[in-house]
Amino acid sequence: MLSRSAPRTLAEAIIASHSADEAASGSICRVNVDFAFANDITAAPAIDEFKKMGGRHVFDVKRCAIVPDHFTPNKDIASAEQAKKARRFAREQGMLFWEVGRVGVEHAFLPESGNTLPGEIVIGADSHTCTYGALGAFGTGVGQTDLAAVWVLGETWLRVPETVKVLFRGRPSEWIGGKDMIIALIGKIGVEGARYKSLEFHGEAISALTMDDRFTMANMAIEAGGKCGLFPPDEKALDYANARKTRDFTPIYPDEAARYSETVEIDASSLEPTVALPHLPGNARAAKECSDMEIDQVFIGSCTNGRMRDMELAASALKGRRVHDRVRLMVIPASYEVYNEALDRGWIKIFTQAGASICTPSCGPCMGGHLGILAEGERCVSTSNRNFVGRMGHAKSEVILAGPLVAAASAVTGRVTDPREVFERGESMK
């Protein structure tokens, strides 16, 4: 077992705090799990595996959850049957479950509701469980069988990942957000650049980011192959967590002398509004270089960019403007907390007056589910996290990933657009 004085990365330190095994990179540790969940798609097979294992009760009803978010409200009979199965199991177990109208996208709703907290190990049957790294939690996605085992045992095994230290130097301009930064990183290291590694974020630019931007970046760690994407918890993260927590937590930090497999440095002050062209999140380009690409649809939402800051930026670009006649715009707040705040601040009215469709907080079209599926030959600018072939509909459609400013500006012009072009007359974004 590592001595207490052995320097640890944040991933190693969190795993060590949850295991009696040696938490060195490459070792396999048996760990206690703080929170474990599935969604309306992954719950049904997890429930089947739970029963095959002889499971009778989940390990803790307050730490096990099912979050219906992908096909809510149910889009067809099949999705309704899946939700029914999940609902029945959750009620039988007495575990956490929230109905449509009281929930949202899992990776926005769970931290908002104080169910995922700094220093914890969070296991979800969804690949974007890495989102909780924004709080300094080791969040990672697993298959349904592994999730079922966690529900039974309250523990799982993890191979301790090596850690890549990502250092964002300088302060980004007002046009740059977490989405631009994470696409720039993936463009630099590639979609396998952090395969089964932890990305640990540091630097002046990181300290300046809002929590919403940090959630965006942690969310897309998986798009670089990462096991997790971790932010050492600072005052912003702790204030966020303390205001929402459902239980006590202990934040954990990396050691100053921690050993990293490599260090990647990016000058955030030199970044420009960035997009990822089809069909990989690492296909990064400056938005202004793609202004000849006409579009059919824009989607603003998802677990990546459906939070308050995203709605605020989108509203700033759409205020007093109209969506291009050739374009349809879907805006889907990631939770009802976001939806209601957007209502109070007048942003929903800005969206509807611009010509947008506003939908129930859910994943929507992100994974080709509903509320905005693409037809053959159509092209969408999306604030979601993946642009693989057929991700949002037809295999011959295209998805361009972008942040909310680029997405909203593109909805106005009908083509991929650097937001500075829309604000060129000097209007304030605020």
In this structure, are 65 and 200 located in the same domain? yes
User: Which tens digits make up the pLDDT trace of 107-130?
Assistant: 999 999 999 999 999 999 999 999
CATH number for the domain that contains residue 284: 3.30.499.10
What is the per-residue pLDDT for 88? Answer: 97
In this structure, are 324 and 240 located in the same domain? no
Averaged pLDDT for residues 48-55: 97
Query: Hey, what are 73's tokens?
Result: 């409200």
Q: At 31, is the secondary structure helix, strand, or coil?
A: strand
pLDDT cut 90: percent of the chain above it: 96
From 241, 265, 289, the end of a domain falls on: 265
Distance CA 262, CA 75 (A): 45
Is residue 380 within 8 A of residue 299, CB to CB? The reply is yes
What is the per-residue pLDDT for 267? Answer: 97
Query: Hey, what are 263's tokens?
Result: 């260090």
Which residue(s) pair with 263 in the sheet?
Answer: 165
What is the per-residue pLDDT for 3? Answer: 45
Q: At 297, is the secondary structure helix, strand, or coil?
A: strand
From 265, 297, 317, the end of a domain falls on: 265
Buried b (16+ CB within 10 A) or exposed e, 174-209: ebbbbbbbbbbbbbebebebbeebbbbbbbebbeeb
Residue at 113 is within a domain = yes
Mean pLDDT of the chain: 95
Residue at 429 is within a domain = no
In this structure, are 240 and 94 located in the same domain? yes
What is the per-residue pLDDT for 2? Answer: 42
In this structure, are 58 and 195 located in the same domain? yes
Residue at 427 is within a domain = no
Question: Which comes out higher in pLDDT, residue 367 or 415?
Answer: 415
What is the per-residue pLDDT for 426? Answer: 47
Distance CA 210, CA 403 (A): 14
Closest by CA position to 381, among listed 308, 326, 316, 320: 326
What is the per-residue pLDDT for 339? Answer: 97
Residue at 362 is within a domain = yes
In this structure, are 259 and 280 located in the same domain? no
In this structure, are 327 and 183 located in the same domain? no
Q: Which residues contact 258 (CB under 8 A, 6 or more apart)?
A: 7, 8, 9, 10, 12, 163
Residue at 3 is within a domain = no
In this structure, are 286 and 224 located in the same domain? no
Domain count along the chain? 2
Residue at 258 is within a domain = yes
Residue at 324 is within a domain = yes
What is the per-residue pLDDT for 19? Answer: 96
In this structure, are 105 and 222 located in the same domain? yes
What is the per-residue pLDDT for 4? Answer: 53
User: Which tens digits make up the pLDDT trace of 225-239?
Assistant: 999 999 999 999 999
Q: Is the pLDDT at 1 greater than 80, yes or no?
A: no
User: Which tens digits make up the pLDDT trace of 406-428?
Assistant: 999 999 999 999 999 999 754 54
Averaged pLDDT for residues 357-382: 94
User: Which tens digits make up the pLDDT trace of 136-170?
Assistant: 999 999 999 999 999 999 999 999 999 999 999 99
In this structure, are 346 and 299 located in the same domain? yes
In this structure, are 150 and 211 located in the same domain? yes
What is the per-residue pLDDT for 193? Answer: 93
In this structure, are 208 and 302 located in the same domain? no
From 236, 265, 294, the end of a domain falls on: 265
Confidence of residue 6 (pLDDT cuts 50, 70, 90): confident
What is the per-residue pLDDT for 18? Answer: 97
Q: Is the pLDDT at 264 greater than 70, yes or no?
A: yes
User: Which tens digits make up the pLDDT trace of 289-312?
Assistant: 999 999 999 999 999 999 999 999
What is the per-residue pLDDT for 424? Answer: 73
Could you list the residue range(s) of the whole structural domain that residue 299 is in?
Answer: 275-418
In this structure, are 321 and 222 located in the same domain? no
Residue at 285 is within a domain = yes
Averaged pLDDT for residues 98-103: 94
